[in-house]
Amino acid sequence: MAKKKIGLIFGGRSPEHEVSLLSAASVSRAIDKNKYSMVYLGITREGGWKRLNIPKSFTPEELLENGRWEEYAEDFDMGILKTSIDFALPIVHGPYCEDGKLQGFFETMDIPYGGCGVLASALAMDKLASKDVFAKVGFPICKHKPLFSWRYFSHPEKSEQETAGEIGYPCFVKPANMGSSVGITKVKDPEEFFRACDIAFSYDKRVIIEEALDVRDVEVAVIGNEAPFAGEVGEIALSAGFYDYNAKYINDKSEMLIPAPIPPQTREELRALAVKAYEAIDGEGFARIDFFLEKKTGRILLNEINTIPGFTKRSMFPLLMGAVGISYPDVIERIIELGYERYNNKNHR
């Protein structure tokens, strides 16, 4: 029986391009190459598609990790994608890839793929839209407000005054559509507010402003389609500040506590809420659900959902699944199986 051709898709136009390469390298190491034939498809920072040709002197993982993959790649015609692969496994983060656009392309091309579908991907990527859904369903969320570029740049002082009155300081200023904490600034006063807005609006025309609470960052991994399963609860113990891009991918000072040192009742409540949040956005395949745990009160707040969480050596999702006995290779196998399950169910309704 011929091996299934798995299209491992990485890179992308978003600022999370490098993170995607590291995640894809880890996935490539974990996937069963005795069972699957790998097709490495990279998306350049300009949006071009290329197929990686593996030279004898390097492994694909080495080329991804050292960022030299384009040196050994040739242009790829997206029109022949369906005949080139049997299954798409997108390991891409951020806009143009994780936000439903790539998933919609796979749907149009009639290609089975791993991870969440168009709706869940688009909704989870948009922090403002997802919080509207969370509030409608009744999930506890932190106080926040939207800010639009045209309104801010027309009246920046008014925007600052409204923020001070409605949210107060300190607060976080974030692009509405971005991941890996890219473009996020913790703001302590009006002067910092204006600088933070300039940064956030360089990534998106819509910004979300959130209150800054004294919280613990806890995360839950979820996998599944119609009967999703929540893995372990983990905590990010920060060395200082907040869990920004540098803390996630560059320095090693933040500690991952798996399982999180929390009471059993809180653990089960978080796992149950994670599944409900996953279902609320019509999640499929897998996702990581991020929560805040208020230090003084123990109050749980739903923060956001990541539909293609990081898969690097420092990433929570595979570690949280490993803590409940699902190994990294098994996670990848399940993601592929779930993608085929959705595809087959949809085509046989």
Burial class (CB in 10 A: 0-12, 13-18, 19+), 343: middle
3-state secondary structure 282-295: CCCCEEEEEEEEEC
Cβ atoms of residues 305 and 124 within 8 Å:
yes
Distance of CA 328 to the CA centre of its chain: 17
What is the SS3 assignment for 203?
Answer: coil
pLDDT tens digits along 224-268? 999 999 999 999 997 655 545 455 544 556 789 999 999 999 999
Q: Quick one: residue 342, left, alpha or beta (phi over 0 = left, psi -120 to 50 = alpha)?
A: alpha
pLDDT in tens, 311-336: 987 899 999 999 999 999 999 999 99
Query: Are the C-beta atoms of 253 and 247 separated by less than 8 Å?
Result: yes
Low-confidence ranges of the chain (pLDDT < 70): 179-180, 239-253, 349
Q: What is the pLDDT of residue 245?
A: 47
Tokens in use for 97? Answer: 């890839």
Task: Give the 3-state secondary structure of residue 93.
Answer: coil
Q: What pTM was computed for the model?
A: 0.90
Distance CA 86, CA 33 (A): 15
- Which residue bears the tokens 């369903």? 137
Going 98 to 286 to 209 to 315, the CA torsion angle's sign is negative
